Chains A and B, each alone.
Chain A
Amino acid sequence: MPKRKIHREKPKEKFSYDPRKVLKALEEYGRRVLEDIKAGKNPYFDIPMRGISNVYFDEKARVIRMGDKLSRRYFLNVAHARKFMQTLLIMAYVKRLVSEDKHASLREAYYANKHTIPGTHENTFEDQSESDPIIEDLERMLGVLREEMHLTADRRGYIYGDIVIRDGEDEFNTSKLGRGGWAVPGTVEHLQFVEVNVDYVLVVETAAMADRLIEEKYAQKENALIVATQGQASRGVRRLIHRLHYEQGLPIIVFTDGDPYGWYIYSTIKQGSINLAYLSDKLATPEAKFVGMTMDDIKKYGLQNVTEKLKGIPPNKKGGPTGDYKRILEEMEYPWFQNKEWQRQLKMALEMGVRIEQQALANKSLEFVAKEYLPEKINNGELLP
């Protein structure tokens, strides 16, 4: 099969990571609190609000962005005092991490700061569910990434393909590390792309499918970098995709299951998520395209026998819509799905009441996906926006 050269786009922005920036912001906020208290004023933090009420879709940049609603967290407020204290605790912790150039996981950060407040039976943090939101608050407040504060999440996802990466003192080609590929760390800021010999990035939802493609030598034959997200893409993976696109100009093609969850994974990679709306500029890749699975694939490749019924109650039935149906209807409302192609796909899914998994292609043959399905669709440009 002839290799078709896919045009590389020019990188749009580059992000620089500067530890001094984080330290400066932390000290700045600390100093302001101290000045307020000295002046007899009730000290506070202004934290951009989280949640659906404070996000909007930026039509021009085509990403989900955070609104400008702030929530003010006071010291002298019974409802705020505890969180105010927790915020300062994490800030001090981050300062130590960054200045000592150490990294800690979210769970480590939780345990490092958890202790009983003297003279009470109260802990500074009762549960990790208390410290995680504080860290997210700090990201929004300071406008920096969690990774820039040297806090990492569990790693998930791996890549395989002919690119050379420098990670600290190590330099390696991700296609020469065996079939397992290279696991993407929580923090990708410090990675340097030494050599990039691929034409595009194929983002795959399931590890099973990624392994299939690796075994079929898809990466080599199609000159692609395979990125396995293993479900919802982790921040590290999203950030890596973003960097590969904007710094290396690689096109991004997403391959998920043909169900509401798969389409949501795509939507997150493309436009960002509501929870991390403030990071869309660093995580989202609006230029990403979608290759499958689509509802059209079912007919086109004769996969009617390997579909599965959607879960939940359809909208026209009593009690509906629930489950998958409800999810599809919600996705139909997303601004970035407001185009003919996507509306048609989603409507078809509702009408047919079925979903189709990536692995269903194995019904044809194991090689089918690597030899026919993907190359055909990608080379013919049968991609959804």
Chain B
Amino acid sequence: MAEANQLFKEFKIQSVSEFFRRNAAMLGYTGKVRSLTTLVHEAVTNSLDACEEAGIPPYVRVEVEELGREHYKVVVEDNGPGIPEKYITHVFGKMLAGTKAHRNIQSRGQQGIGISGAVMFAQVTSGKATRVITSTGDDIIEAWVKIDVEKNEGKIVKKERHPNPKGWRGTRIELEVKNVRYIRSKQGVYWYLKLTAIANPHAHIELIEPDGKLIVFPRSTEEVPKPPVEMKPHPRGVLTDDIYRMSRKTRRNTVRRFLVGEFSRISDKKVDELIEYIAALRLIKTEQDKNVQEQLYKRLAEGDVKAVLRSFRGYTKVVKQVAKMMEKPPEKLTWHEAEEIVEAFKYMKFLAPPTHGLRPIGEENIEKGLTTILKPEFVTAVTRPPKVYSGGIPFQVEVGIAYGGEIPSGFELLRYANRVPLLFDAGACVTTSAARSIDWKRYKVDDLDRAPLVLMINVVSVHVPYTGTGKQSIASDDDIYNEIRLAIMDAARKLQTYLSGKHRRLYQVKRRKTFEKYVPEIARALSILVGVPEEEVKKYFLSFIESRFSDSDVEEPAVVEEVAENA
């Protein structure tokens, strides 16, 4: 707790601009293009989340207006439930106010500071307050929000109340920012929204670019995804800090009840087992002989906890001590004890974590999203069943393939983590290496870099393992890598079926033409030979071809091949 206090104190005395400069990379506000994208991302994410929670099909409109050199106004408007007046400062002002930051829940938010970061960014670059117009259906509230750095909370600088005769509901925020640039690149706002639209087919997204151009990414499904539910952490996926922090917040009155109640896959019996493991670990640590110690660790790992205990004299005393620890109030749990618990978890066996909280986009919706936005001639998607990585963290992989149609030549990989497009650090991402590791020729894609192919990969998890602080690429975990590969191969097989079918149909048409073009020649010759009118002969031949090709697939008759003409 002392450490936390210290941190907080330091944070307070830092100037806002200092805080931003120091943490810019971590927060996503780095680079002129990326900063703008991050800003839009935070606002759009907020809108989508709000709509989904209220069960409203989202309608999000983004407007980027150029006010001067590297000086823009960003407007994001949605049809969400609106923000009640008293929460406005809470939503837009409080840093780390995010309700999800420390919850075990799948979320779009990656940075944990969300829209308040955007407000802060606008504030430090342009010095202007963020204008918020919102209504829950009653009066329309127009407020100018700033962040009070001293108190780490939002402050309404000016507020106006307007009548709402038409019953408008939603939120519109206007941020004025400097030191950013709008470019239509693959890291820019346009690309970000396009990718967001693909992964959120239930959302209607519009963009007005600085030059006044309106771009619409229409909605392709009315079905609003259910908001993700919180999942209790799995013992294999927790850190000492998690246990320590959670023990301070819990309302359970013993450590035992805290463990059973706040974690998944821990029962009363598991706690009894845990007691034995902790006791065993304590005892092993007292052993002087290194070799013996090694052996005991090994036996423990094999699950032979009883035998390990029995090899120490008076082990029951230690077990009782540990059992006592389980009965004390959780807030009395020490950091050291939390460490012991985490260490024991590593040796124990648990059921795989529950996966009901994961919210994949779904095969059907991926296909809809890709079809509406990219207009391909072929689309397919695969949502793999949930899996677990590093022992206890559930994740799920989804892959979509769009081919041909209006897609230009050249392979394109669209990367997502929890539906959020990843636009940077593609080279370091596990999705990139997995996609490249596929032998595409096996799936009838002869030249990947020239194929009109878009591959979309969405990794869904409560805790996506990012590389570095930028959170723009997914770490190369073997379990995730393999799962992505399997998903791609699943989808690629469907593509292969389509492509070979396409080839076959083309081939049939070509074959048929080969025969038909000779018919007039044959008819004339045969007419000379047998004296039957040319037209009649022609009719016989054409109807013969027709009948042979209508029986779907005609196999070539088995024939003795003609010998090469070598006269």
Contact = CB atoms under 8 A, between A and B. Distances in A.
Interface of A: 26-27, 29-31, 33-34, 37-38, 40, 42, 49-51, 53-54, 69-85, 88-89, 91-92, 95-96, 117-120, 122, 124, 129, 132-133, 136, 275
Given A71-B563, A133-B567, A37 B544 contact: yes
Contacts of A136: 567
Interface stretch (B110-118, B355-363, B441-449, B519-527): B519-527
Contacts of B564: 51
B518 A71 contact: no
A49 B563 contact: yes
B559 A34 contact: no
A124 B520 CA distance: 11
Contacts of B563: 49-51, 53-54, 71
Interface string B519-562: 01110111011101000010011001101100000101101111
A72 B558 CA distance: 10
Contacts of A74: 557, 559
Interface stretch (B8-16, B258-266, B509-517): B509-517
Given A95-B529, A118-B520, A50 B567 contact: yes
A203 B565 CA distance: 31
Given A73-B562, A78-B514, A88 B567 contact: no
Contacts, number: 110
Given A50-B567, A83-B562, A117 B529 contact: no
Contact of B540 (A37, A51, A88, A96): A37
Contact of A76 (B515, B525, B528, B537): B515
Nearest to B567: A133
A84 B521 CA distance: 10
Given A40-B544, A75-B515, A275-B567, A27 B529 contact: yes
Contacts of A82: 518
Given A49-B560, A71-B562, A81-B518, 18 more contacts: A27-B529, A30-B530, A34-B537, A37-B540, A42-B544, A50-B563, A51-B564, A69-B560, A74-B559, A75-B515, A76-B544, A76-B545, A83-B562, A88-B525, A88-B526, A89-B521, A89-B525, A92-B525
Interface of B: 511, 514-515, 517-518, 520-522, 524-526, 528-530, 532, 537, 540-541, 544-545, 547-548, 554, 556-557, 559-567
Contacts of A38: 540
B142 to A, nearest CB: 72
A80 B537 CA distance: 19
A85 B532 CA distance: 17
A34 B530 contact: yes
Given A30-B526, A31-B530, A76-B545, A81 B560 contact: no
Contacts of B524: 92
B556 A77 contact: yes
A1 to B, nearest CB: 45
B521 A91 contact: no
A81 B541 CA distance: 12
A78 B526 contact: no
A78 B562 contact: no
Contacts of A88: 521-522, 525-526, 529
A376 B544 CA distance: 71
A43 to B, nearest CB: 9
A77 B555 CA distance: 9
Nearest to B529: A30
Contacts of A78: 511, 514, 556
Contacts of B526: 30, 33-34, 88, 92
Q: Which 10 pairs across A and B sit closest by C-beta, in order of nearness?
A: A30-B529, A92-B525, A88-B525, A92-B528, A85-B518, A30-B530, A37-B540, A133-B565, A89-B525, A71-B562
A72 B506 CA distance: 27
Instruction: Give the most central of A40, A53, A76, A129: most B CB within 10 Å.
Output: A76
Given A34-B540, A91-B525, A81 B515 contact: yes
A82 B511 CA distance: 12
B547 A40 contact: yes
B521 A75 contact: no
A34 B526 CA distance: 8
Instruction: Give the most central of B545, B548, B560: most A CB within 10 Å.
Output: B560
Contacts of A95: 528-529
Contacts of A29: 529
Instruction: Give the most central of B515, B544, B556: most A CB within 10 Å.
Output: B544
Given A80-B562, A92-B525, A132-B567, A120 B517 contact: yes
A13 to B, nearest CB: 27
A242 B172 CA distance: 107
A335 B128 CA distance: 107
Given A34-B540, A133-B565, A71 B514 contact: no
B529 A26 contact: yes
Nearest to B518: A85
A54 to B, nearest CB: 8
B558 to A, nearest CB: 10
A95 B518 CA distance: 20
B528 to A, nearest CB: 4
B525 to A, nearest CB: 4
A129 B544 CA distance: 31
Contact of A75 (B522, B560, B566): B522
B540 A72 contact: no
A83 B515 CA distance: 11
Contacts of B530: 27, 30-31, 34
A81 B548 CA distance: 15
A89 to B, nearest CB: 5
A117 B518 CA distance: 8
B562 A34 contact: no
28 contacts: A30-B529, A33-B526, A34-B526, A34-B540, A37-B544, A40-B547, A42-B544, A42-B548, A54-B563, A69-B560, A73-B562, A74-B559, A75-B522, A76-B557, A77-B556, A77-B557, A77-B559, A78-B511, A79-B561, A80-B559, A84-B518, A85-B522, A85-B525, A88-B529, A92-B526, A95-B529, A119-B517, A275-B567
Contact of B566 (A51, A54, A85, A122): A51
Nearest to B547: A40
Contacts of A34: 526, 530, 532, 537, 540
A57 to B, nearest CB: 20
B82 to A, nearest CB: 67
Nearest to A133: B565
A150 B61 CA distance: 85
Instruction: Give the most central of A26, A54, A88: most B CB within 10 Å.
Output: A88
A117 B521 contact: yes
Contacts of A30: 526, 529-530
B548 A76 contact: yes
A96 B559 CA distance: 31
A42 B564 CA distance: 22
A79 B562 contact: yes
Nearest to A53: B563
Contacts of B522: 75, 84-85, 88
A82 B525 CA distance: 14
B372 to A, nearest CB: 41
Contacts of A122: 517
Nearest to B511: A78
A69 B562 CA distance: 11
A45 to B, nearest CB: 11
Contacts of A33: 526
A139 to B, nearest CB: 11
B512 to A, nearest CB: 10
Contacts of B544: 37, 40, 42, 76
